[in-house]
Amino acid sequence: MRRREAQKCTASTETMSAKERKEYTNGRLREIVRYAYQNASAVKEKMDGAGVKPAQIRTVKDLEKIPITRKDNFTALQKQNPPFGGFLGIPNGNLEKIFISPGPIYEPQDAEEVIESGAKALYAAGFKKGDRVMVTLNYNMSPAGQRTDQILVKIGATAIPTGIGNTELQIQIMKDLKVTGYVGTPSFLMTLVKRAEELGHHFRNDFVLQHAWTMGEMLSSALRKSLEQDYGISVLQGYGTAELGLLGYECPEHSGMHIPEEMIIEIVNPQTGRQVEPGEIGEVVATPFNKIYPLIRFGTGDLSSITDKPCSCGRTSSRLTGILGRVGEEVKVRGMFIHPRQVEEVLAKFAEISNFQAVVSRIGERDELTINLELRDESVDRDKLTNDLARTFQDICRVRADNIKFGVKGTIPKDRKIILDERKWE
């Protein structure tokens, strides 16, 4: 197999002893809680509401005293206290950039901690100085693409910001520039490989792509196996959110996703907010050491569990065992979260529609989004409605609907979920 081994761990913070790690984590926790309480009004408000002062937060266990701020509620919080919901930690508010995620949710520029954790992840995936890396993430308003560019600069690699789509052009770029690395969704990587073959290329002979770092959607074991064994591409994955940055990353051992030292991850009971034991499934709640955006106890809505078993790569951090589902209502489609409120906002603009449901399925290695509709009046111009709805849906939800289907009245249940996720994961 033509591939390079991903790097083992060398950074001192990644190899701390259990005692050192505990002291380091609790020390940084006390610092960020104190800072956030003094500088971010929303943090002070929720801590005061719970009767908690910064001096009471000494260890990770003490975080249970602070209420969780949930991603599902973040758009409403920002509307109540614009533009950042009271979570901006810079008193004067001077920012280089403001990113925008679906919702809309506004996120300030990334702190150095966000870039540092990303650099660890790409290093673990085999990226190094001199690599030429195609970044096929979104550069339109959301932080994914620009954040990755900063990370690649930090490790000395060259970023090629190709963004989303333009499959055949991306294949040409990959060949002409002798691209060695890929960052993006795993399904799009396979799309590029298969299309290159359809165009007459022999992938192993005509390209020099060695390693891929994927995120934004599930990486199935079958897809990873095909990319690695059939095409010689080493594939590792990461997990993160626009608000928080990276929450976990794989090492060459494929034994879960290491939690970076730049934040604290709790796995909690979604109903009580109490931390569960290692191995138990619960909601992923993050507290980043990010003074620009100190989101103390931010509930992602994702379900996972943690293992503390030693990893042979040398990193001593706890690891997330994988993303096992969702607590909240949001659904991730081709790397973008869609909330039911967004779907309702779209459909409310079309009086011709009496009922609707968005359905997410998996066709091969790609997410497919279908909007099922029922009409008030069957005489509606369906072609025009389809085109108008598709355009509005993409504008608001930032994801293209693959299919818009018209059904007979009464076929969509009245008690239906607005977004039905039919995908099955291995």
pLDDT of residue 43: 98
Q: In terms of domains, do 314 and 399 share one? A: no
Structural domain of residue 394, as residue ranges?
336-421
What pTM value is reported for the model? 0.81
Q: 27 Cβ partners below 8 Å, 6+ apart?
A: none
pLDDT of residue 254: 92
One domain, residues 222 and 344: no
Tokens at 421, concatenated: 């996720």
CA-angle at 334, arms to 185 and 124, nearest 5°: 25
Kindly state whether residue 197 falls inside one of the protein's structural domains: yes
Q: What mean pLDDT is reported for the chain?
A: 92
| Domain termination site, one of 304, 329, 354 | 329
Any domain includes 232: yes
In a domain, 281, yes or no: yes
In a domain? residue 33: no
Question: Which residue among 310, 329, 348 closes a domain?
Answer: 329
364 pLDDT tier (thresholds 50, 70, 90) = confident
pLDDT in tens, 247-288: 999 999 999 999 999 999 999 998 899 999 998 889 999 999
39 in any annotated domain: no
> Exposed e or buried b for every residue in 302-333, given b needs 16+ CB within 10 A?
bbbbbeeeebebebbbbbbbbbeebbbebbbb
Question: For residues 33 and 26, what is the distance between their CA atoms, to the nearest angstrom?
Answer: 10
Say whether both 116 and 224 belong to one domain: yes
pLDDT digits (tens, 9 = 90+) for 286-311: 999 999 999 999 999 898 999 999 99
Report the CATH number that the domain containing residue 286 is assigned in CATH: 3.40.50.12780
Query: What integer pLDDT is reported at residue 2 of this predicted model?
Result: 37
Same domain, 217 and 250: yes
Same domain, 371 and 280: no
Average pLDDT over residues 314-321: 95
Same domain, 305 and 343: no
Same domain, 348 and 212: no
Determine, yes or no, domain membership for 249. yes
CATH classification at residue 386: 3.30.300.30
Question: Which of 340, 353, 345, 334 shows the shortest CA–CA distance to 399?
Answer: 334
Phi/psi of residue 62, each to 5°? -65, -20
Model confidence over 19-48: pLDDT tens digits?
999 999 999 999 999 999 999 999 999 999
Domain boundary, last residue among 279, 306, 329: 329
**Out of 117-131, 183-197, 215-229, 305-319, which region has the weakest mean confidence (pLDDT)?**
215-229
Let me know if residue 80 belongs to a domain: no
Both 277 and 350 in one domain: the answer is no
Same domain, 216 and 316: yes
Given this model, what pLDDT does residue 8 score?
A: 60
Same domain flag for 215 and 322:
yes
* Residues listed for the chain: 426
Choose between 364 and 283: higher pLDDT: 283
Helices (H), 283-381: 340-347
Residue 139 lies in a domain: yes
pLDDT digits (tens, 9 = 90+) for 44-63: 999 999 999 999 999 999 99
Q: Binning pLDDT at 50, 70 and 90, where does residue 235 land?
A: very high
Mean per-residue pLDDT, 199-214: 97
pLDDT at 7: 64
Provide the domain count of the chain. Answer: 2
**Using one digit for the tens of pLDDT, what is the confidence trace for 370-416?**
999 999 988 999 999 999 999 999 988 888 999 999 999 889 988 89
Are 266 and 350 part of one and the same domain?
no
Mean pLDDT, residues 111-119 taken together: 95
The answer to whether residues 319 and 340 belong to one domain is no
> Does residue 92 have a pLDDT over 80?
no
